[in-house]
Structure 1
Amino acid sequence: MKITAVRARRVTGTFEYDGEFREERQARPIDLYEQNFAVSMGGPPAMPKISDGKYRMEGIFLEIDTDEGVTGRAGTIGAETVHMVAQFERLLVGSDPFATELLWDAMYRSVPNARKGPGMLAISAIDNALWDLKGRALNQPVWRLLGGAARMEVPMYASTLGYSLEPELVRQRVKDHIALGYRGQKWFFRYGPQHGRDGMAKNLELVETVRDTAGPDVEIMFDAWKSWDVRYTVDMAERMVDYDVKWIEEPVQPDRISSYAAIRRASPIAIAGGEGEFTRWGAQELIAQEAVDYLQPDVFIAGGISELTKIAAIASVSEGVKLMPHARANVSMHIVAAQSPDVCPSVEDLVKSSVTNEFFLLAPPVRRLGKICLSEQPGLGMDLDPAKIESDEDVPLR
């Protein structure tokens, strides 16, 4: 079997949702500047609203074709990733798609500046598509190719990015997620050091509201999304400790590993991070500097499935560090399920992002009682639902 083509495909459809889909955003590092804090939405572009209750959904998928008619698919990905894929096309076409280690290393070596940033996002997407291709060719799910399932249902925690932080709505959403069976919830702070004591009080009000509503048996976590500093994080941690918080996530910008380590030494609450880190070498640096308790690489950022399995091996021999992959539950569940629960305890369900990332899938993973369920779908289960696709076009790599 040989690779014959590498393609990107954009599909659109209509997503029905009663109300505003993204009600609030998290804190952002650029909120240091007042004019940026005032912007209501940040991060990925909001879905265009067609009419009340209807949004235009768009997804870009990477597809790798072979001379035996088997196609691997990964996505959704960003337009900037598509253009970086073009740099690796010549290495892929004519190659054996089963040689994922060879192809990963060749891509990594061919463009030295691709070791981080958009280049590694492209390598990640390609690697994930190759694993989907292998599973389809062998008529096996990827979790089985990775060694088989340590468990067929993997616990999830709900991440509430995009939900309103109004206290009454927070209470209702906490109850809603408990009713769905999630035994853990992660909420996102809106305020940082530049907002002084008033901002700190509002952050603490969120913690109090979530714990008071969730009760003592639900794990709660909070994400500062790279927007705090050492002193502020430690100060907040000391105020939050009485609320039995499992971790504070991404308190500082990812390049400030020494700041992570300083926080971890001083904080009475565990520290999580690494969602924006790249490759096993980035993960190893976080571990070597004793910067995190929970390591959170993203399978579409850190290097794909091939790389996350290596990061899992590193975490398995690192005292006290747990691997908790960031987002993309429909892909990361394959990795987590094939690892010991002692290494990878659970999967993050970034609830609203899961809706958008999985919207076009014919059979998205089943969630049941706070767990994500493995299936026998070949590959990563990336068949698309033609009933949801209203337009379908190729996206030029160049």
Structure 2
Amino acid sequence: MRITGLRATPVNLPLEAPLWWTGGHYPGTSKTIVEVETDQGLVGLGEAPSVDVVRAIEALGERLVAARADPLDIAGCEALCLPPWQIVQNTDDASAVKAFGAVEIALWDLRGKAWGQPLYKLLGGAVRKAIPFTEYFGFRAERDGRGGETTPEAVVDYCLAMREAHGSSLFEGKLILGDPLLEIRTVRLLREALGPGAVIRLDSNMQWSLSTARRVLREIEPYDIRNYEDPVATFEEMKALRQHSAIPFSSHVPDLRRAVALGVPDTIVTNFAVLGGIARAVRFIGACEAMGVGFWCYSGDSGIATAAYLHMVAAQPWITEPSQSLFRWQVADVIEGGPFRQRDDVVAVPEGAGLGVDLDREALARWHGHLVEHGPLDHFHDPLAPGRFRRLPLH
């Protein structure tokens, strides 16, 4: 089997209503969908976490097609696409890693399709097949009758509605309006309403200064917060914060060496393409296990990257905590039957060959057209100060 073509299609994946986060309104995500074509008619699917790597992915495809590369020889494909890993890291050019990581996911999908096996079996078999994900909550603007949770009481009512409708007991959210008292009050009301059995995790996106984070975490610690993601801007500030709080921390920054050296964060939360693909994610998670650092998966992706998460968590005993999820709010996807939706906190791992998902070409064209018409989704629009970017920390 030889690689004969590669397509990189940027798409928008909007949410039903914008969510407040540290940078302003979060309206959804923009991704790059990768298709690797072969002379045997099989097509592998991959996904990059951004659209700034489209040209880089296309350049990698030109190399792979010119070499008539064997897609099952993933190490050989990497040697065609990337210089030595240490040099790539030394140049601070993460785009090369993300670009190849998206292609590499597609190569694993091809491997599964060629051998007629789901990805989790290629990774060693399943230790679980019901994969847990959190519901998401936060302060949201209203759009077409959706969202509109702008008070602590509305956020609580939303979470209770998710529990009633979907059996949800795992919750993660952003309470980001720059007001520590608002966050403290919302957390208290959530715990009182959801009871002691619900999991509550928080994500600050680095909004707090160290002094404010000390105050906030001191007040919310009695409400049994399972994890707090990026409460402050750096690992060094997390280390100082650890002296004042027993709440575990996580971060999207995949710097395992520094995490081990400083003792924080407790968990890394990231995207497989950011790590360089499936094979490097396996090694990264193994290193986390050896060092006692947790791992779970990112949110806001299409069904392609989500399927990769499902297979990886199925095969990795070390990933025991639920991964993040914006599934309930996603109105767009590029796979048939997508987006995934959890029921009773879990999604079943796909049993089809490779990633086990099929591309919905009509949906791909629709959401690519959305990007062409509107541009990539802007995560940094602040309706309170149009045309100006927010500064950190917020308080």
Please indicate the TM-score interval, normalised by the length of the shorter structure. Answer: 0.7 to 0.9
Aligned residue-pair number? 351
Which amino acid in structure 1 is aligned with residue 355 of structure 2?
A: L
**1:290 shift after superposition:** 1.4
CA contact (8 A) 2:10 2:54 kept: no
**1:41 shift after superposition:** 1.8
**Compared with structure 1, are the counterparts of its residues 236 and 144 closer, same or farther at alpha carbon in structure 2 (3 Å cutoff)?**
same
Q: Following superposition of structure 1 onto structure 2, how do residues 263-302 of structure 1 map, counting pairs within 5 Å?
A: 263-273=241-251, 275-277=252-254, 282-302=255-275
**1:142 shift after superposition:** 1.0
**Compared with structure 1, are the counterparts of its residues 105 and 297 closer, same or farther at alpha carbon in structure 2 (3 Å cutoff)?**
farther
Identify the residue that residue 375 of structure 2 maps to in structure 1: none
- Report whether the alignment pairs 1:362 with 2:336: yes
| Identity in percent | 22
Identify the residue that residue 378 of structure 2 maps to in structure 1: none
Distance 2:80 2:261 in 1: 27
Q: 2:101 aligns with which of 102, 124, 141?
A: 124
Distance 1:145 1:112 in 2: 28
Identify the residue that residue 88 of structure 2 maps to in structure 1: 112
Q: 1:24 aligns with which of 2, 7, 19?
A: 19
**Compared with structure 1, are the counterparts of its residues 314 and 355 closer, same or farther at alpha carbon in structure 2 (3 Å cutoff)?**
farther
Q: 2:286 aligns with which of 313, 325, 328?
A: 313
**1:201 shift after superposition:** 0.6
**Compared with structure 1, are the counterparts of its residues 388 and 373 closer, same or farther at alpha carbon in structure 2 (3 Å cutoff)?**
same
Provide the aligned C-alpha RMSD in A.
Answer: 3.0
Which amino acid in structure 1 is aligned with residue 250 of structure 2?
A: A
CA contact (8 A) 2:307 2:350 kept: no
Query: Structure 1, residues 190-223: CA drift from partner, whole Å, max 9, x if none?
Result: 134xxxxxx1111112212221221110010111
- Stretches of structure 1 lacking an aligned partner (at least 5 in a row): 29-39, 46-57, 193-198
Identify the residue that residue 339 of structure 1 maps to in structure 2: 316
- Report whether the alignment pairs 1:170 with 2:155: yes
Identify the residue that residue 182 of structure 1 maps to in structure 2: 168
Q: Following superposition of structure 1 onto structure 2, how do residues 124-143 of structure 1 map, counting pairs within 5 Å?
A: 124-143=101-120
Identify the residue that residue 351 of structure 1 maps to in structure 2: 327
Query: Structure 1, residues 122-143: CA drift from partner, whole Å, max 9, x if none?
Result: 1221111111111122222111
Query: Structure 1, residues 109-159: CA drift from partner, whole Å, max 9, x if none?
Result: 267267653332212211111111111222221111111110111222223
Which amino acid in structure 2 is aligned with residue 95 of structure 1?
A: A
Q: Normalization by structure 2: what TM-score?
A: 0.79
CA contact (8 A) 1:61 1:77 kept: no
**1:86 shift after superposition:** 3.1
Identify the residue that residue 189 of structure 2 maps to in structure 1: 209
CA contact (8 A) 2:18 2:26 kept: no
Which amino acid in structure 1 is aligned with residue 315 of structure 2?
A: A
Distance 1:189 1:11 in 2: 28
- The answer to which of 120-129 and 362-371 deviates more is 362-371
Identify the residue that residue 392 of structure 2 maps to in structure 1: none
**1:383 shift after superposition:** 1.0
Query: Structure 1, residues 216-249: CA drift from partner, whole Å, max 9, x if none?
Result: 1001011101222322222211111111111110
Q: 1:85 aligns with which of 50, 54, 57?
A: 57
Which amino acid in structure 2 is aligned with residue 270 of structure 1?
A: P
Distance 2:10 2:73 in 1: 27
**Compared with structure 1, are the counterparts of its residues 210 and 60 closer, same or farther at alpha carbon in structure 2 (3 Å cutoff)?**
same
**Compared with structure 1, are the counterparts of its residues 11 and 245 closer, same or farther at alpha carbon in structure 2 (3 Å cutoff)?**
closer
**Compared with structure 1, are the counterparts of its residues 116 and 368 closer, same or farther at alpha carbon in structure 2 (3 Å cutoff)?**
farther
**Compared with structure 1, are the counterparts of its residues 201 and 105 closer, same or farther at alpha carbon in structure 2 (3 Å cutoff)?**
farther
**Compared with structure 1, are the counterparts of its residues 297 and 213 closer, same or farther at alpha carbon in structure 2 (3 Å cutoff)?**
same
**1:95 shift after superposition:** 1.6
Q: 2:206 aligns with which of 215, 226, 234?
A: 226
Distance 1:149 1:189 in 2: 35
Distance 1:76 1:213 in 2: 38
Distance 1:266 1:87 in 2: 49
Q: 1:100 aligns with which of 74, 80, 94?
A: 74
- Report whether the alignment pairs 1:152 with 2:129: yes
